Structure 1
Amino acid sequence: MSSTNEEIDLSIIVVAYSVKELVDECFTAVRNSTDNLLKEIIYVDNGSTDGSVEMVKEKFPEVVIIESPTNLGFIRANNLAYTKARGKYILMLNSDAFVGTESLQKTCDFMEQHTDCGVLGARLIGRDGKLQPSARYFFSPWQNFIVKMGWSNNNISWLKGVDNMQQDHSRILECDWVPGCYLLTRKKIVDEMGFFLRDDFFMYFDDIDICYRIKKKGWKVLFYPNDVIHLGGANMEKMDKITEKDLRVTKLHLESEYIYFRQNYNLLYVLLDFSLIILFNFSRILKKIFLFKKKEIQEGWGNIAMATSILIKTRFGNKSIH
């Protein structure tokens, strides 16, 4: 770790909400890293009630802790942490992502050696070793639609999806974006852009959005074949239990989806995305009518109403509602 006056190689940002055991495992993995980097961990606690802060203070006194009395959301908490970051490199690390002993050193070394790389991701695997989507591709409203419909086929250009799990993940891959559970970037790039993560998002689309903005500046986004264990969704599961009525996963995702398309593309993309969401749900409703699935039919109409409501509340992707 580092002292106050030393130049920092790496700032690791971790945000969590009432997942004490995962935070413990995440920080332990970082501590067990065999790197020789000068690094700092900045931990934003989003109003945990399970003793997470006390545990971190006791077991990881080197960690910089920022306590929020309320749940700021993943994106805004990361932005709060970024204001304290001093490293040459910034690593977004989920509390349910556990680095290998060589992950930090190898990915930072790669960035040092490849000065055209603006963002670097790792090979994400479950505890069972199963590969997770790690080198991803930008999607349009059409691609979003075909994935939902189950029509994606990477062998047909107009049916390509967001992921190609058949490609060789044992080598360096150039892609469009990497998941934010392990996303390494250069602080100088973020400072030049003027902001870290888009504050309009409460959760979701932060990783694809920052990669889009960095790639638009001419930097490469690359995948590096070093394993990082990722469990997936732990913070969201906790939050959804507490705020089921107001902040359901689907609402947050859809809100960010509209904002992403509006801020990075244009209004036409938002309208096309909305239209295809309606078409997808209509197709499901028709199918369920023939199968006499009353509950699923009601859910379909509910999804259409929700998509319409969020479109209006966000002013067609122009503002956040959370």
Structure 2
Amino acid sequence: MDVSIIIVNYNTRNLTLQCLVSIYEKTKGISFEIIVVDNASLDNSVEYIKKEFPQVTCIENNINVGFGKANNQAVRICKGKYLFFLNSDTILIDNSIVLFFYYLENCKVKSVCCCGASLLDMQQNLTGSAGNFPSLLQEFLDIGFYIFCSKIYKRKFSIAFHVHGNEIIEVDYICGADIFIKKEIFNLVGGFDENYFMYYEETDMFYRLKNLNYKSIIIPNINIIHLESGSFLNKKTFDVNKFTMIYKGKVLYYKKNKGSLSCFFMKCFSFIFYIIRLPRYYRNIHAIISIIIHS
């Protein structure tokens, strides 16, 4: 088996079905399997998937075990030489999986173990595909100081950026929407840390890969549509539950990889960030400050 495609589903029945259609329509020239891990969805996702795609392997969880743990479950039963972690809200628009497969098969730089696409939104505009590892300097610049060094910030510090042009670039981490990686390397690094429920689990995994001197790249002439376009902070409504999950993931990342003191300063910078933007977040500021303090 060449590739195992792994999709985690949680109440995204229609999106998952759309994603599956695109995989079978576009993927030719390799052997592959698809494993869908359902995290106790309430929208009859599994029933529809089994009906429309009986060849798909479904893992049915009784509870929502989180993103990283669900992916690890699938890895334990998959047969592919390569793993392709694909979000349910993605749509393949070309034979992306074959392009990833042959790139890594023929890559002469043995330390390159993982690749991703240049992601597009529904209007086919570029959206976040990769990022730099979080750092205290990045948190400080995010307060607003990045305007004084915008070009350097985007290249060296931004934790989410889009990729354009034709040159393959090395990145710190690839967006969790589309991670194509050698299975043996994924297992060597220990898979996703299951202490993360959702968010920052891929950043943590890539940080461990980097420490083992492995490289990850974005291939910009491969495009995949990702329907999640941009940070929820830029949307009109503020999702407190999503903010909670993201911030808990960030705190865990800092404590694990940077230490408690760095985590403390990160929280201080977060506090300043939201206080400065009080007019924008005043309706949720008490919840935000509480999450920052207690996470």
Could you say which TM-score interval applies, normalised by the shorter chain?
A: 0.7 to 0.9
Give yes or no for the alignment of 1:279 onto 2:272.
yes
CA distance in 1, matches of 2:11, 2:24: 21
Q: Which amino acid aligns with 2:55?
A: E
Aligned with 2:98 (options 71, 87, 105)? 105
Partner of 2:158: 161
Partner of 2:205: 210
Give yes or no for the alignment of 1:185 onto 2:170.
no
Aligned with 1:13 (options 3, 6, 14)? 6
Figure out how many residues of one structure are paired with residues of the other and give that number: 282
Partner of 2:81: 88
TM-score by length of 2: 0.88
Aligned with 2:288 (options 291, 303, 306)? 303
How far is the alpha carbon of 1:148 from its aligned partner? 4.9
CA distance in 2, matches of 1:42, 1:164: 29
CA distance in 1, matches of 2:126, 2:277: 30
Aligned with 2:34 (options 41, 51, 61)? 41
CA distance in 2, matches of 1:303, 1:145: 18
Map residues 101-250 of structure 1 onto 2, 5 A cutoff: 101-114=94-107, 115-149=110-144, 151-152=146-147, 153-156=149-152, 160-163=157-160, 165=162, 168-193=164-189, 195-225=190-220, 226-232=222-228, 248-250=241-243
Q: Deviations over 1:3-30 (max 9, x none)?
A: xxxxx11111101112111111111111
Q: Deviations over 1:244-281 (max 9, x none)?
A: 8xx81111111110111121222222111111112223
Contact 1:137 1:163 in 2 (8 A): yes
Kindly tell me: are residues 34 and 80 of structure 1, through their superposed partners in 2, closer, same or farther at Cα, counting changes over 3 Å? closer
Kindly tell me: are residues 230 and 264 of structure 1, through their superposed partners in 2, closer, same or farther at Cα, counting changes over 3 Å? same
Contact 1:23 1:95 in 2 (8 A): yes
SS at match of 2:118: strand
Q: Which amino acid aligns with 1:144?
A: E
Q: Structure 1 unaligned segments of length 5 or more: list them.
A: 1-7, 237-243, 311-322
How far is the alpha carbon of 1:82 from its aligned partner? 1.6
Aligned with 2:262 (options 247, 266, 269)? 269
TM-score by length of 1: 0.81
How far is the alpha carbon of 1:85 from its aligned partner? 1.7
SS at match of 2:131: coil
Q: Structure 2 unaligned segments of length 5 or more: list them.
A: 233-238
Q: Which amino acid aligns with 2:57?
A: V
Aligned-residue RMSD, C-alpha:
2.4
CA distance in 1, matches of 2:165, 2:160: 12
Q: Percent identity?
A: 27
How far is the alpha carbon of 1:94 from its aligned partner? 0.3
SS at match of 2:199: coil
CA distance in 2, matches of 1:22, 1:301: 34
How far is the alpha carbon of 1:150 from its aligned partner? 6.9
Aligned with 2:23 (options 30, 43, 59)? 30
Partner of 1:74: 67
Partner of 1:55: 48
CA distance in 2, matches of 1:88, 1:283: 49
Q: Which amino acid aligns with 1:220?
A: K
Partner of 1:253: 246
CA distance in 2, matches of 1:305, 1:174: 37
